[in-house]
Amino acid sequence: MLKDLFKTKPKYITVRPPQELGTRQEPAEKRDIPDGLWVKCDRCNQIVYHKELSKNLNVCPKCDYHFRIGAKERIDSLLDEGSFHEINSGLTSTNPLNFPEYESKTKKSQKATGLTEGVITGTGTIEGQPLVCAVIDFGFMGGSMGSVVGEKITRAIEYATEKGLPFVCISSGGGGARMHEGILSLMQMAKTCMALNRLAAAGGLYISVLTDPTMGGIYASFASQGDIILAEPGALIGFAGPRVIQQTIRQTLPPGFQTSEFVLEHGMIDQIVHRKNLRATLGFFLKFHAREDKGGQAIG
Amino acid sequence: MASPGYCLDFEKPLVELERQIEEIKKFAAEKNIDMSEEIRRLQEKADQIKQEIYSNLTTWQRIQIARHPKRPTLLDYVGMIFTDFTELHGDRLFRDDPAMVGGLAYLDGRPVTVIGQQKGRDTKENLQRNFGMPHPEGYRKALRLMEQAAKFGRPIISLVDVVGAYPGIEAEERGQGEAVARGIREMAALGTPIVVVITGEGGSGGALAIGVGDRILMLENAYYSVISPEGCASILWKDASRAPEAAEALRLTGKDLMEFGIVDEVIREPMGGAHKDPKAMAETLKEALIRNLLPLLDQDKEALLTARYDKFRKMGAFIEG
Ligand SMILES: [Zn+2]
C-alpha cells in the first residue's frame, strides 16, 4: 500500500548545505592515510589521532574533510557484514600497446593496494537489500579505467541486468580512461554505457556514488549516468582537469569549482551525502526500488 | 598541387624543389628557351622525394597532416559528397554551438542526417567555432539531430574531427561529462544505421561522444586517441615536447586501430594527405560511405542494435585467470 510506503520514509536523508566554497585543497599525498599514530588533515592541517579518524570513517573530526579510502575499506563500511561475494576477481591487465613502464606501474599499484586491478566488483546486501556493486580504488593507478576495469564494470552491470538486481557503483578516478592502454581504455566508456542501456531497458536501478576525485572518462561515462547520483562532500567532480582548464583559459578558477557542491548547484547530481549517512541513504534508495520478484523487500 | 602558404617541416625539401621547378619553368618561358630536359630531371627527383617522404610517414608526421590548417573540414566534405545539405541549428536547451554542425542531406540520392565537429578554415572562423571544440550544447545538438534521424528512419553519418573536449569553465558548468556520456549512451541505442568516420583528429571523449556506430572508418592520416600526445608526454615525462614519442607509444593510427579491432576500414588519402587533393579525397570517402552504409540498410532494428552492442562489447584486452 502507498501508505505503508511512506511509513518507511527515513529521517536520515540529509542534504548538506554547500560547504564553504573556499579554494579546494588538493590532498598532498595521493594515497589515503599513512600508518602511524597521528595524521595531519589535508584540509584543516590539524593533527588527528589515527584511531579516532578510523572510527570516524576517515572523515576529519575537526573539519569534516573526507579522506580518500580504498575499495576494500569502502565495501567494509557500506555492505552488511559478511554479505560481500567478489565476482570476476581473476581479471588482470596485459600490456596491449607495449606501453613504456606499464607493467611496473600496475605491479606497484597491486603492491600498494593489495588488489589485482583498479575495481572490485561483487554482490552483497546493504541493510538487507541485495545489490551488485563496483568500487573503484583511487590507489590503483589513480583509479583509472583500462580494459579490466571496463570489463569488470560491464560484467557487473550485465549480471545485475540478468538477475534483476540493482547496481551501485562507487567511483573515484583522477584521470578517467587509462592512457597506458590507449584507445582500448577510451572504448571502455562506450562498453560500460551500452551495458547501462540494457540495465535501464530491463527496469534495473543504477545508483552512482561519486567520491573524490571522479573525473575524465569515468565521469564522462557510467559515473554520470545513474538513475540517482550521490556525491560525498567536497569531492572533485568534472570532465576536464582543473589544471588543464587553468592553462587553457589563463584565468583563476572560481572558488569551489568542480566540487560536489558545484555540480549539485549546476544540476548534475541528486544529493550530497556525508560518509556517515551513505550506508543508510543507499539502504533507503535500494529499499524504495526493491522488486518483489527479486528477493528484495516486498512493497504493499 | 602544393598547398599555398603552409608547409610542414618534413615537407620542406619537396616544397623547395617544387619551387625551383616553377622558377625554371617561368624563366624558360620568359626567355623562350627549351629547358624541358632540366625540368624533367628535377621533376623526377621531386617525385622520388615525394615517394620517400609520404610512403614512410612517422606517426607524428601523420598527426601533423591530420592537424593541417588546409585539411578539409566537415563543411568541405558536405559540399563535395552530399547534395541539398540543409543545416539545422540548436540544442533547444541553451544555444547553437558553431563548433558542431549538423543537418539534412542526400547521400547518393538517399536522405541522411550528417553531423560533425567543424573547425574554422581561418583564424576568424576558428575563433567563432572555438577551433572545432564543442561545448556541451554542441553534443546535445548532435544528439537531438540524431534522435530526429532515428525517428524518421534516416541513416546517420558522423564525421569526427576534434582535438578534444573543450577545457573551460562554462563547459564544466553545463555538464560536459554528462553530455559526452549521454551522447555515447544514446547513440548506442538509436535504431538507425550509423557510419562514423574519423576524418582528422579523434580526440578522446570529444570524439567518442559522436563516435558510436555500426561502422567505424578512419582516413589514412587521421588519429584516434584516449589522450593527446602532448598531454600524454606531459604526464609521463613532464615534457610536452616529447609528444612525438608519446604518439608512437599510444598506437593511435588507423593501422593500429585496425589491429586492435576498433576500426573497420582505413580509407586511403591522396599522396601527402587529404588537403593535397580534397576532391579526390571526397570521392574516395563518398564511395566508402555508400559501400559501408548499404549492407546496414537491410538489417532490421533488433539485429542492428545487437550487432552494435557486440561490436563494442568485445573491445579491450585482458587475461582471465
Ligand atoms: Zn580537518
State residue B45's pLDDT score: 93
| Cβ within 8 Å of residue B171, ≥6 positions away | A239, A240, B135, B136, B165
Q: How far is CA A178 from CA A190, A217, A294, B78, B158, in A?
A: 14, 9, 36, 35, 26
**Closest chain B residue to the Cα of A152, Cα to Cα:** B318
Size of interface A-B (CB pairs under 8 A): 183
Residues of B in contact with A183 (CB under 8 A): 224-226, 250-252, 256-257, 260, 262
Distance CA B274, CA A101 (A): 36
CA atoms within 13 A on the CB side of A220: 38
Distance CA B199, CA B218 (A): 6
Interface probe for B, chosen from A179, A214, A236 (most Cβ of B below 10 Å), is A179
pLDDT in tens, B229-247: 999 999 989 999 999 999 9
State residue A292's pLDDT score: 74
State residue A33's pLDDT score: 53
- Please name the residue that has the C-alpha cell 576495469: A149
Residues of B in contact with A194 (CB under 8 A): 185, 188, 212, 308-309, 312-313
- Residues of chain A with pLDDT below 50 are 1-31, 296-300
State residue B6's pLDDT score: 75
pLDDT in tens, A17-31: 333 333 444 444 444
Beta pairing partners, A38: A49
| Cβ within 8 Å of residue B188, ≥6 positions away | A190, A193, A194, A197, B212, B308, B309, B312
What percentage of chain B has pLDDT greater than the value 90? 93
What B17-25 contacts at long range (C-beta under 8 Å, 24+ apart), as own/partner pairs, is B17/B42, B17/B45, B17/B46, B17/B49, B18/B46, B21/B46
Distance CA A170, CA A168 (A): 7
State residue A4's pLDDT score: 44
Relative to beta strand B215-219, strand B265-267 is parallel
C-alpha A43 – ligand 1 centre gap (Å): 5
> Residue ranges per domain, chain A?
36-67, 68-288
State residue A294's pLDDT score: 56
Distance CA B159, CA B132 (A): 12
Give contacts of B 179-198 with A, CB under 8 A.
Answer: 180-182, 184-185, 188-189
Give pTM, 2 decimals: 0.91
Per-residue cell: B304: 542492428
Q: Looking at domain A68-288, which of 3.40.220.10, 3.40.50.300, 3.90.226.10, 3.90.870.10 is its CATH number?
A: 3.90.226.10
Interface probe for B, chosen from A88, A183, A264 (most Cβ of B below 10 Å), is A183
Beta strand residue intervals within chain B, DSSP E: 83-87, 100-107, 110-117, 156-162, 194-203, 215-219, 223-225, 265-267, 318-320
Q: Is the pLDDT of residue B25 over 50?
A: yes
C-alpha B295 – ligand 1 centre gap (Å): 61
State residue A247's pLDDT score: 87
Shortest distance, CA A5 to any CA of chain B (angstroms)? 32
State residue A29's pLDDT score: 43
Q: Is the pLDDT of residue B319 over 80?
A: yes
**Average pLDDT for chain B:** 95
Q: Is the pLDDT of residue B143 over 90?
A: yes
pLDDT in tens, A59-81: 999 999 999 999 999 999 999 99
Shortest distance, CA B250 to any CA of chain A (angstroms)? 5
Q: Find the range with the poorest average confidence among A17-31, B65-79, B104-118, B195-209.
A: A17-31
C-alpha A273 – ligand 1 centre gap (Å): 18
